[in-house]
Structure 1
C-alpha cells in the first residue's frame, strides 16, 4: 500500500511537470514563429504574384485581370475564402490553383495540361505559387465562406470527406491518421483536428505558407501532395478532382474561421 501511495504521489508530481514542459516548448515555438513573421519571405511571392496578375503574358499576350475567381471578372479581394466552388463555364468545382490554370489557358493561351505536369518549384509552377500567394493575401483576416448550394459542391464535400478517411499505402495511413483527433502531436508539431473547425488561421486557413525548414513557398496543392507522400501513397495529379474535393472538405469545415494566409510554417 505504501509503495502504491508513493507511486501515485510521484505520478502526480510528474504530470504537472510534463504539462509545464510541453507548454514551455510550444510557447517557445510560437514566439519563434512570431519573430519570423515580422519579415515573412512570403511577401516577396506576394509582390511577384501581383505583378504576374497584371502582366501581359503567353501566346495571347494578355494579363489575368479579367480572370473570374468567383466574385466576378478581375475581382480578387474576398475570392480566396470562397474557394473551392462551382464554376459554370467549366462545369466543375475548382480551387484557387485549378481555377488559375483555366484562366491562364483561356485568357493567356498557356497550356494548362503542361503546367499541371510541371514539377513544383519549376517553370510556370513557380508563377502559380506566386499568384496563389498574392490572391490569398488579398483575403487575409477574412472568414471562410465556401458555397454549398450547387449539387457538385455538395458532392465534392462528400468525396473529400471519404478521401480524408480513406486508408492506403504500405503504412495504411489516411489524412485522419494525423488530423482526426484533438491534442495530437508529432514531436513538437501540433496536429490540428481537421474533421471539424480547427479555428482561425489553423489548417486550411493557413495555406499558402512559407516553410522555414526548406525555404520554400507552398500552395495548398503542394501541401496535399506532401501529405500523400508521407502516407507513402502515389501522388495525386496537380489540381485533380481528388485534391479539389479534399480542399472542399477542409474549407467547408473551416467555415467562419479567419484566413492568415500566406502564413509561416516550420
Structure 2
C-alpha cells in the first residue's frame, strides 16, 4: 500500500511537470504564430508619423528630440534607457523623456499629459511613439548606462523598491519576479533579479496585449504591477517607476530586445 501511494505521488508529480511544460510550450507556439501579424506594427507606423509630424502649440515635430544618442537619433536609443540627461538634471526613461521633448519642443503641457488616463489622448500617442522608437533598436542588446552618479543612485533605489513589501497582501515586485520557476495561471514569471535572457522580462516591453487589444509601454506595465500588489500608483513618470526600470534594465544587460513584443 505504501509503495502504491509513493508511486501515485510520483506519477502525479510527473504528470503535473509534463502538463506545465506543455502549457508553456503551447503559449510559446501561439505567440510565434501571431508574430508575423503583430498589431504593434500599426502602432509603430502611427508612432513614426507622430515623430515627424508638426504638432502642439509650437507646431513642431519631435525630430530634434534627444533620446541619448543625439538630436533626432532613434536607432539604439531604446536599449540605453533609462539614462541621465544633463538638460533636465535627472535620469529618465523613454516615456518621461518623451514628455520632456513634447513640452519643450512642441509646447504640450507635460503635467496634463501625465495626468491623462492610459490609452487616452496624448497618452495613447506616447505609447505609439514608444512602439516606433523601440522598433528601431529591435535585435540590439541592452546596455543601460551606469556612468553617472545619479544613474547608480537610481539603480540602488530601484533595487530597494523591487524588494519593498507592503500593502494588504504584503507583496513586493520580488514576490512574483524574485526567483525561478514561478507562474500565475498559464503565465511564466521571469526572475528579474538576474538576466532572464533575450526577449524576456524587460527586453520584451513595450508589447501589444492580445487579451485587451492594447499597446502597453513600461509605464503602464508597472502600473498594472502596482495594481496587482494593491499599492497606490506612484504616478506617471515618477522616480520610483524610472528607478525600477533602471534596476531591471541593468539586470538585462546583454539581452536582445524583441520590443514591441506580443503578450497575452
TM-score class normalised by the smaller sequence: over 0.9
Distance apart, 1:15 and its partner CA: 2.3
Question: Equivalent of 1:193, from 172, 191, 196?
Answer: 191
Where does the alignment leave 5 or more consecutive residues of structure 2 unmatched? none
Tell whether 2:36 aligns with 1:38: yes
TM alignment of 1:1-266, pairs within 5 A: 3-266=1-264
Counterpart CA distance in 2 for 1:20 and 1:117 is 46
Distance apart, 1:27 and its partner CA: 1.3
User: 1:137-157 deviations in whole A, cap 9, x for unaligned?
Assistant: 110010000110100000000
CA RMSD, Structure 1 to Structure 2 (Å): 0.8
Give me the TM-score of the superposition, normalised by structure 1. Answer: 0.98
SS in 2 for 1:38: helix
Question: Which is worse superposed, 22-31 or 38-47?
Answer: 22-31
Distance apart, 1:4 and its partner CA: 2.2
Distance apart, 1:29 and its partner CA: 1.1
User: 1:66-106 deviations in whole A, cap 9, x for unaligned?
Assistant: 00000011100000000000000000000000000011111
Question: Which is worse superposed, 149-158 or 6-15?
Answer: 6-15
Distance apart, 1:6 and its partner CA: 2.0
SS in 2 for 1:264: strand
SS in 1 for 2:188: strand
SS in 2 for 1:236: coil
Give me the TM-score of the superposition, normalised by structure 2. Answer: 0.98
Question: Which is worse superposed, 17-26 or 235-244?
Answer: 17-26
Counterpart CA distance in 2 for 1:29 and 1:146 is 30
Question: Which is worse superposed, 225-234 or 5-14?
Answer: 5-14
SS in 2 for 1:190: strand
Runs of 4+ in 1 over 4 A off after TM superposition: none
Counterpart CA distance in 1 for 2:7 and 2:224 is 44
Where does the alignment leave 5 or more consecutive residues of structure 1 unmatched? none
Counterpart CA distance in 2 for 1:157 and 1:90 is 18
Counterpart CA distance in 1 for 2:14 and 2:168 is 38
Distance apart, 1:195 and its partner CA: 0.7
